[in-house]
Amino acid sequence: MVDIIGENVDCVVRGGELTDLSLMARLIGDFQLGVYAAPAYLKLAGTPLHPRDLEGTHHRIVGFMWARTGEPLAYPMRSGDESVKVQGRYALSVDDGNAYLAAGMAGLGVLWLPDYMTRPHLANGELTPLFKDWKLDPMPLYIAFPPNRHVSSKLRVFIEWAAGLMAQHAPVTGRRPVIGST
């Protein structure tokens, strides 16, 4: 993970709730998440009907390593009054979004993906949605930057551009505590 202040970086884009309260940040979007698998995986392992099925011995998950903890992300899911946090068996874990998607599309396991990444792959049959009655909390996307008294016009323009772009593809869906201000 980039040390914004130590490495003299103007800003970073971070997914998930921010934990570094020393930074200023702007919430620019909320990624809607879903659970998906490649048809090749489903043919081999069968189609899980409930998220807890992923905890069985014959199903595998492609893990996405969280830079803050070094552990694969676990995504809480809910349907009505029932909620689960799947801790299945990992085929592998990666820390790159492109590698994550490629591993899932190669049939190595089940994926949790933002909707925007899946659209073309759903349209051409490369991915299949799972657990349609289950919901995941959206993943917030922030631009974080050092706490300076003055935000440069270059940074302000970039933040506004990114926020406008995200409003088209992953608009903010809910309010959260404000971290700093812009």
Whether residues 7 and 25 share a domain: the answer is: yes
User: Do 22 and 47 sit in the same domain of this protein?
Assistant: no
Q: Which residues have a Cβ under 8 Å from the Cβ of 70 and sit 6 or more positions away?
A: none
Q: Are residues 37 and 11 in the same domain?
A: no
Same structural domain, 94 and 153? no
> Is the same domain home to 95 and 163?
no
Which pLDDT score, from 0 to 100, does residue 178 have?
39
Give the integer Cα–Cα distance in Å for 8 and 79.
44
66, 152: one domain: no
pLDDT of res. 149: 67
pLDDT at 174: 63
86 with 16, same domain: the answer is no
In terms of domains, do 64 and 83 share one?
Answer: yes
Total number of domains in the chain: 2
Provide the residue range defining the domain that includes 12: 1-30+139-182
Rounded alpha-carbon distances, angstroms, from residue 115 to 7, 33, 81, 177: 32, 6, 24, 24
CATH number at residue 46: 3.40.190.10
Reading the block at residue 71, the tokens are: 């552990």
Average pLDDT per 10 consecutive residues for the chain, totaling 182 residues: 79 84 88 94 95 88 80 84 87 89 96 90 96 90 86 92 85 55 42
